[in-house]
Amino acid sequence: MAKIRVGFGYDVHQLVEGRKLWLGGISIENPKGLLGHSDADVLIHAICDALLGAANLRDIGYHFPDTATEYKNVDSKILLRRTTDLLHEAGWHIGNIDATICAEYPKLNPHIEKMKETLASLMEIEVSEVSLKATTTEKLGFTGREEGISTYAVALIEK
């Protein structure tokens, strides 16, 4: 009998001028990017936390601390690839990912398919196993004021 687990991840980063916007492993044209120790890809970070949590392997900050110089400005695709490796080493296979990006701007629907392809490749799963949605907060809160972007992610893993 297969063993399955579910994990939940959440991340948020502030939008600032002078940074590229990276979401789901792709660069998106925008006047502001996300501030963080790495490239601040909130989607990848939330997915990493969901995967690590499902496998009971702590969290992204434990494995890739923002105090470590080797992760300064690191491409978050590397973090997701290493997270996938950690799961495989522990005997887990990724079943599927479901994530929601909360951003008032830019409009993300034109980028969803490319993000899904990129993420699926990094996690070694089919594109059909990655569900991404984009929503706004109807101008409410820090997201609505375009001060930042947040992401929620759920992961199913199996052994």
Annotated binding site: 11-13, 37-38, 45, 59-61, 135-138, 142, 145
| Binding-site residue set for a divalent metal cation | 11, 13, 45
Task: Give Cα separations from 155 to 87, 94, 122 (angstroms).
Answer: 12, 8, 15
As a whole number of angstroms, the distance between CA 71 and CA 65 comes to 7
Alpha-carbon torsion angle 105, 43, 14, 17, nearest 10 = -60
Residues 137/52, Cβ–Cβ less than 8 Å: no
